[in-house]
Amino acid sequence: MKLLRRDDLHTLTGAYALDAVDGAERDRFEHHLHRCQPCTHEVRGLHETATRLAVAVARQPPPALRERVLTAAAMTRQMPPVTDVGALPQSRHRRRRRVPRLAVAVVAAGMAVVIALGITVAVTRRQLDDARAQQQAVAAVLNSPDATILTHRTSLGGTVTVVVSHSERKVIFTAAGLPSLPHSKVYQLWLLGPPGTRSAGLLPLPTGGRTVPQLASGLARGDSVGVTVEPAGGSPQPTTKPIVDVLVFS
């Protein structure tokens, strides 16, 4: 029987999706869920299935409820976006991380807005999908347990903000207040480090003074994130001195 424990846990997906598991057993299953991608996927599908069951019994509430809820909402403060980077007890880093966590929350809020704006102006299905994929990737970095945030000034003015996750090997990059460039020039983002200098793409034109978050993957130990000014279209390798160089993985 003991050998079957993992399978037993897995078959709880259905009951769990219907909130039919409680107490310690639910805790155990949720713990398992965090490490079991197929279970997470299955629960998601079963939750959506349950939603259809709910919609099938829809029933209009008394009209007075609408007014009560809307009035209460107008007087209720909303929660900030969650960026709880997990309850992993890494006491060594805990002190150091408290401030960055808060900062990540603030940046995350800003990024969510930027991304949401990006989505509202997207016209094609393809762009929507891209925007969603981008948002998911950004969320994964923001939610990773080791997300840390760094902000640096550039030599041209303005600031860059980088959220780094070593475990995801990714960085999210945004810039604010960079001077605008002539049409013949662009800002290009780089990962600079022992594996070589790799382009992480051209910075999109800022909207409202801020660039859309740019995601760079394949972070390696010793890497910095840098920005250079390049001819329109970008360069295979930097041709000018970086205006900012942030060590992100020491």
Partner 1 sequence: MRAPEPTSGPGGGGGEADLDWLLDRVARGDQAAFETVYDRMAGPVFGLICKVVRDPAQSEEVAQEVLLEVWRSASRFDRSKGNAQTWVMVIAHRRAVDRVRSASAAAHRDQKSAGAVGAASIDEVADEVEASLDRERVRRCLETLTDLQRESVTLAYYGGYTYREVAGLLSVALGTIKTRIRDGLIRMRDCMGVTW
Contact residues for partner 1, defined by CB under 8 A: 8, 11-15, 17-22, 41, 44-62, 65-66, 68-70, 72-74, 76-82, 109, 112-113, 116, 119-120, 128, 132, 135-136, 139-140
Q: Which two tokens stand for residue 52?
A: 């259809």
- Indicate the residue among 43 and 225 with the shorter CB distance to partner 1: 43
Shortest reach from residue 20's CB to partner 1, in Å = 4
In Å, what is the CA distance from 26 to each residue of 6, 37, 46? Answer: 14, 17, 16
- Indicate the residue among 136 and 250 with the shorter CB distance to partner 1: 136
- Indicate the residue among 87 and 196 with the shorter CB distance to partner 1: 87
Shortest reach from residue 240's CB to partner 1, in Å = 37
What is the dihedral sign for C-alpha 129, 131, 136, 140? positive
Shortest reach from residue 227's CB to partner 1, in Å = 28
- Indicate the residue among 70 and 123 with the shorter CB distance to partner 1: 70
Shortest reach from residue 204's CB to partner 1, in Å = 20
Residue 237 CB contacts under 8 Å (≥ 6 apart), including other chains: 197
Shortest reach from residue 230's CB to partner 1, in Å = 33
- Indicate the residue among 72 and 184 with the shorter CB distance to partner 1: 72
